[in-house]
């Protein structure tokens, strides 16, 4: 069974194909013409962490594809009362066609997938946020920053990305994407807040085949200099609220403001997965400025996740209600 727990579950060609499909689905929606490929299918959505974008995009996306999204708070199912994950997985997957899970420990997702009879999608874990990166890459492509691959048009600018901030699940997923697709990524974090060493080392091995380059540093100015994509994320993620004051001190100098953005290329774009805390990881002027693409990026969660769901159906040779042209 093919799942989507990290970006490493998709090959480079599959990531590019999913992005291309997302573009087509977005255009269909603009034309008020969305094909119900997943007519009659049920997506179970398990939330152990609250969400705005993840819930609305998945629930809206499965509806537009002709299926039904079932919201399952961990407080409302036996998982929240101590039922073993493997039992919950076997039961739920026997009744639905796909599961999206948003949780804390990544190991929970791995165990859920191990016992599931249907595809599992990581809606966010403490270690990775792959669905967000698919939306980010779609946004980059729309802005003319992506890898030409025979499907997308030539003349695109190859990504040079600076990620500024906490070495968290977003940083890990950016590291995965850069390694798989083969572009340059610079991660700037304070000492003590670097991304996980094992994730970096694994990505560097992949870079030897893909041509990617990953640099880890402490200097935001050095990271941003000459790049065409600048990314950041909140300094204190869900579950780290008690560390907020400590992190604010550690991250002094890591706010993406106008002076930092001015070091990037003139037509560089700014991305943030949201929610954003203005005046902390990003200034109001950058978030609301002409280089910001954060709300386009947020909207692209809908289209990217529709494409991910369809790709998993195709990759697992499951039936669709309507024929789908997709190069996988």
Question: pLDDT tens digits for the chain (328 residues)?
Answer: 999 999 999 999 999 999 999 999 999 999 988 899 999 999 999 999 889 999 999 999 999 999 999 999 978 888 867 889 999 999 999 999 999 999 999 999 999 999 999 999 999 999 999 999 999 999 999 999 998 765 555 678 999 999 999 999 999 999 999 999 999 999 999 999 999 999 999 999 999 999 999 999 999 999 999 999 999 999 977 666 667 788 999 999 999 999 999 999 999 999 999 999 999 999 999 999 999 999 999 999 999 999 999 999 999 999 999 999 887 7
Q: Is 125 annotated as a binding residue?
A: no
Q: What phi, psi does 88 have (nearest 5°)? A: -60, -40
| pLDDT computed for residue 78 by the predictor | 83
Nearest-angstrom CA–CA distance, 320 and 285: 45
Nearest-angstrom CA–CA distance, 96 and 7: 24
| pLDDT computed for residue 320 by the predictor | 94
Q: Which residues are catalytic?
A: 102, 129, 132, 233, 273, 301
Measured from the Cβ of residue 266, the count of other Cβ atoms closer than 10 Å reads 7
Q: Is 301 annotated as a binding residue?
A: yes
H helices, E strands: number in the chain: 12, 9
Q: Is 233 annotated as a binding residue?
A: yes
Nearest-angstrom CA–CA distance, 64 and 233: 29
Q: Give the torsion sign (CA, 302, 303, 304, 310).
A: positive
- Please report which helix (H) or strand (E) contains residue 217, including its range: strand 213-217
Beta bridge partners of 265: none
Give the pTM. 0.95
Q: Is 132 annotated as a binding residue?
A: yes
**Which DSSP letter does residue 278 get?**
B
**Strand 160-164 relative to strand 120-124: parallel, antiparallel, unpaired?**
unpaired
Angle at 257 between CA 251 and CA 263, to 5 degrees: 105
Check if the beta carbon of residue 71 is closer than 8 Å to that of residue 55.
yes
Q: Is 238 annotated as a binding residue?
A: yes
CA neighbours closer than 13 Å in the CB half-sphere of residue 239: 11
| pLDDT computed for residue 156 by the predictor | 87
Q: Is 257 annotated as a binding residue?
A: no
Q: What phi, psi does 30 have (nearest 5°)? A: -60, -35
Q: Is 247 annotated as a binding residue?
A: no
Q: What phi, psi does 234 have (nearest 5°)? A: -60, 150
Q: Is 74 annotated as a binding residue?
A: no
The number of residues in the chain equals 328
């Amino acid at each position: 069974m093919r799942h989507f727990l990290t970006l490493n579950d998709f090959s480079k060609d599959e990531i590019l194909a999913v992005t291309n499909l997302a573009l087509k689905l977005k255009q269909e929606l603009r034309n008020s013409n969305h094909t119900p490929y997943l007519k009659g299918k049920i997506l179970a959505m398990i939330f152990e962490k609250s969400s705005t974008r993840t819930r609305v995009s998945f629930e809206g996306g499965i509806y537009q594809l002709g299926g039904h999204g079932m919201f399952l708070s961990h407080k409302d199912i036996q998982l929240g009362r101590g039922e073993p994950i493997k039992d919950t997985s076997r039961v739920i997957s026997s009744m639905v066609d796909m599961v999206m899970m948003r949780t804390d420990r990544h190991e929970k997702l791995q165990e859920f997938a191990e016992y599931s009879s249907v595809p599992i999608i990581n809606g966010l874990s403490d270690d990775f946020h792959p669905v967000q990166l698919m939306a980010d890459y779609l946004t980059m492509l729309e802005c003319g920053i992506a890898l030409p691959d025979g499907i997308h048009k030539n003349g695109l600018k190859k990504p040079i990305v600076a990620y500024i901030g906490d070495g968290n699940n977003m940083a890990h997923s950016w590291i995965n994407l850069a390694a798989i697709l083969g572009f340059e990524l610079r991660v700037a974090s304070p000492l003590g807040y670097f991304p996980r060493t094992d994730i970096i080392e694994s990505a560097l091995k992949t870079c030897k085949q893909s041509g990617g380059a990953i640099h880890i540093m402490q200097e935001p100015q050095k990271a941003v200099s000459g790049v065409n994509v600048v990314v950041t994320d909140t300094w204190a993620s869900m579950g780290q609220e008690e560390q907020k004051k400590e992190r604010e001190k550690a991250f002094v100098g890591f706010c993406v403001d106008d002076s930092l953005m001015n070091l990037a290329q003139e037509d560089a774009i700014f991305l943030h997965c949201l929610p954003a805390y203005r005046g902390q990881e990003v200034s109001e002027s950058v978030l609301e400025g002409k280089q910001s693409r954060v709300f386009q990026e947020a909207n692209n969660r809908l289209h990217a996740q529709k494409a991910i769901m369809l790709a998993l159906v195709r990759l697992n040779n499951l039936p669709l209600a309507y024929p789908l042209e997709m190069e996988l």
